[in-house]
Structure 1
Amino acid sequence: MISYPAALALLLDGTRPLGVESLPLASAARRILASDVHSPLALPSFDNAAMDGYALRAGGETIAAGSIFAVAAMQAAGDGTPAYPSAQACEIATGARMPEGFDTVVPVERSERGSGRVRFPAEERRGQNVRHAGSDIAVGARVLHRGRRVDAAATMLLAALGIERVEAFRRPRVAIVATGSELNAAGPLPPAGIHDSNGPFLAASLTHWGAEILSRSRVPDAGDAFANAMRDALDAHADLIVTTGAVSAGRFDFVPSALSALGASGLFHKVGIRPGKPLLAARFDGGPLVLALPGNPMAVAVGYRFFVAPVLRAMAGLAPERPARVRLVAPLGGREGLQHFALGLLEHDEEGWQVARVAKAQAAYRILPYTEATHWLTAAAGSDDAADAWPLDPADAP
């Protein structure tokens, strides 16, 4: 049996970033940037009004209360750069370009308009309510880092900069194989049958991460179905194959011998963790990595979160994830010598400090506590007062 840190090191040592592809911005949602992005222009790209009102040549540090200006024109958003060399004021709309030489905007609600003139009852400061060119982003500034996921905020920024294409890492190609003669799709169940939840869970999790699901198959514990599913994944040039079930040491746990017969080289089998101890990793020469997870739902959840997800990060050129450190309300417990992964809830104590509480009624077969938790918690043996907290979904991790 191998320790969790040693198992993870073996996985990551053999995993390299995938290739890079150029994508139109419209197709880049949730993709991982493969290079830094630098701004091709300044934002704002010109001085503009922050409010509807009147643009002025202030002529001093303040505009005296009761000042009256002749209004030369109206400057709307999208208008060009007209010059009003002899004018001292013009009406202006929010976002409109400041006329040449004008340096101040007084809001319309602090003005009195009449007969082509405007009066300002109160004293006003010079330079107010103007958004200056480059005050958000300077030309050439690095605005997004390599490894940044293209989320809605990044999309807004890229669109504002007029960037039409980005360089992103290729999506991992993943095949999912759930084993078990007892597994069934939704609908009426036969005697001793159960619904397959592991396959849908992995498909949803991997899709949310940004992986490309090549196939999702459900195979019985006998015959050639498993071997055929593996060959199909190899023919489809999968980067990663994730299987569930049939990986322990029972009579029907055929996955280790089947992978060996197909030519995969084992990296490890059985890890000092709970849940999920029978987990196996193997690699095909020049081909995909295989992560064979036990069949219990929480063993699959742990296997995905703490084995599959780190591999996906490495394929996307991301640094290893760093958890948050939290105070525990009560010890995690667990057996000495095993790395325990517990479902937990982040709360606040009476003084407002964030603390972590272990979710109740956890077991490898129980799914409901997973839906009620907010984080995974891990702690070294003997650590009773603090733990590492990991987001439930690795796609939400920084």
Structure 2
Amino acid sequence: MLEPDEAVRIVLEHCTQAPAEDCWSELALGRVLREPVVSGAAVPPFDNSAMDGYALGGGAEPLPAGSEWLVEGEQAAGDAMRGRARGAWEIMTGAAMPEGLDRVIPVEQTERLEAPHRVRLLADVAVGQNVRLAGSDVAIGETVLAAGTLLGPQHLMLLASLGVAKLSVTARPRVAALCTGRELVDDPAVPLAPGQIRNSNGPFLAARIPAAGAELAHAETVGDDVDAFLDAVDRARAAGARIIISTGAVSMGRYDFVPVALERLGAQVLFHKVAIRPGKPLLFARLPDGTLFFGLPGNPVAVAVGLRFFVEPALRAMLGLARERPWQVPLAAPFVKKPRLHFYLKSQLAVDERGQLSAIALHGQESYRIRPLADANAWVHIPLDAGELPAGTLVEVHGLGHLESPSWGRA
């Protein structure tokens, strides 16, 4: 059987980056930059006050405490730039510095005097004190965001400050999800007949695919019939899917028809079976038009593992993102397995009372058990050759999705 690293290598060999497209900046959350952003403006755009207080001017030496200054005017945030100023100007936070003034003393370090309106300094004030200089955050011509940046709220804040209206981003890969099985019931309001089960894979894929940076182009459930499945594949391709994911019918049973369907499609099967648990019957193929096909086993956690560790690396490559680097975290308790397969474990990260992070393999690792996955906040990878792992052994830890860092709670 194929090693998972080798399987991912084969997948990545057949991935090409999705094309670029323009996107309005305010809609760019979660998108991946295709081209770097170079600032065409300075931030701040003008010298301004960092405090409510009084703007003053002077030479290189600090203005001494005890000195008194006539208040010549005031400047509020949003006021136009003033001409050459002298004396003291009452100024608000964010207001433009009047020309000729080069420092600000906070209002709480002053005493107001009347007749005439003056201010007495209660502390020395050095040149540049409490002044935000134009371009001190971002200078004109500076590269502020590199190509390949996954845009978060903080990036949208920066882009808004620069007045960037449009961006070049990588198009979201279009993905289709086909759930197979005549036993599956999609409608939660329909009572189950004997032998039927609810389709849990469909809602999972419909939620997880967009969370992975892709677009769900098509989704449907089909029975255990080759012709119906081929019709569904045609609909998925017509919807523009570059990746088709199927669930079920890839093992060795009588009704595991997906390999037969792929043969009729003229697909090139690039691997079938990977040395992993859950999800060993995983299949990867390439259709004649270049569409990538992932055949995942039908058990829910096998679907989750196949998507997370084999489909999502393909999505990262299509989005132009670098390969993931897992965390290294110690196990909270011993773990024992037979050294025949790689294990992907539903896990929790937790911080103990000393602030130490550890990984806990949850009870119920069977591939049909969904409840532990709902309790998980991370995945743990145990390598093939590992048998008995004592507490404290460092293991690879991954977030629930490739765009999500692992999270943790309290132990």
User: TM-score normalized by structure 1?
Assistant: 0.95
Q: Which residue of the partner structure matches residue 391 of structure 1?
A: 399
More deviation, 38-47/161-170: 38-47
User: Tell me, what secondary structure is at the counterpart of 1:231?
Assistant: helix
Summarize the alignment of residues 1-398 of structure 1 with structure 2, pairs less than 5 Å apart.
Answer: 1-85=1-85, 87-115=86-114, 116-185=117-186, 186-187=188-189, 188-222=191-225, 224-349=227-352, 351-380=354-383, 381-382=385-386, 384=389, 385-397=393-405
Percent of aligned positions with the same letter in both sequences? 46
Tell me how far 1:191 sits from its aligned partner: 2.1
**2:272 counterpart letter in structure 1:** H
Q: Distance in 1 between matches of 2:46 and 2:118?
A: 27
User: TM-score normalized by structure 2?
Assistant: 0.92
**1:393 counterpart letter in structure 2:** G
Gaps of 5+ in 1: none
More deviation, 198-207/104-113: 104-113
More deviation, 48-57/122-131: 122-131
User: Tell me, what secondary structure is at the counterpart of 1:16?
Assistant: coil
Contact kept, 8 Å, 1:326 with 1:354, in 2: the verdict is: yes
Tell me how far 1:84 sits from its aligned partner: 3.1
Contact kept, 8 Å, 1:43 with 1:137, in 2: the verdict is: yes
Tell me how far 1:60 sits from its aligned partner: 4.8
User: Tell me, what secondary structure is at the counterpart of 2:336?
Assistant: coil
Q: Distance in 2 between matches of 1:18 and 1:335?
A: 40
Tell me how far 1:349 sits from its aligned partner: 4.2
Contact kept, 8 Å, 1:237 with 1:287, in 2: the verdict is: no
Q: Distance in 1 between matches of 2:39 and 2:355?
A: 41
**2:285 counterpart letter in structure 1:** A
Tell me how far 1:41 sits from its aligned partner: 1.8
Contact kept, 8 Å, 2:104 with 2:125, in 1: the verdict is: no
More deviation, 56-65/197-206: 56-65
More deviation, 167-176/358-367: 358-367
Tell me how far 1:197 sits from its aligned partner: 0.9
User: Tell me, what secondary structure is at the counterpart of 1:234?
Assistant: helix
For residues 292-327 of structure 1, the C-alpha deviation after alignment (integer angstroms, 9 at most, x for no partner) is 100111101101110111000000111111111111
User: Tell me, what secondary structure is at the counterpart of 1:62?
Assistant: coil
> What is the Cα-based RMSD across aligned positions, in Å?
1.7
Contact kept, 8 Å, 2:226 with 2:258, in 1: the verdict is: no
User: Tell me, what secondary structure is at the counterpart of 1:138?
Assistant: coil
**1:71 counterpart letter in structure 2:** V
Q: Distance in 2 between matches of 1:59 and 1:330?
A: 67
User: Tell me, what secondary structure is at the counterpart of 1:232?
Assistant: helix
Gaps of 5+ in 2: 407-411
For residues 156-195 of structure 1, the C-alpha deviation after alignment (integer angstroms, 9 at most, x for no partner) is 1111111111111111011110001111121222222211
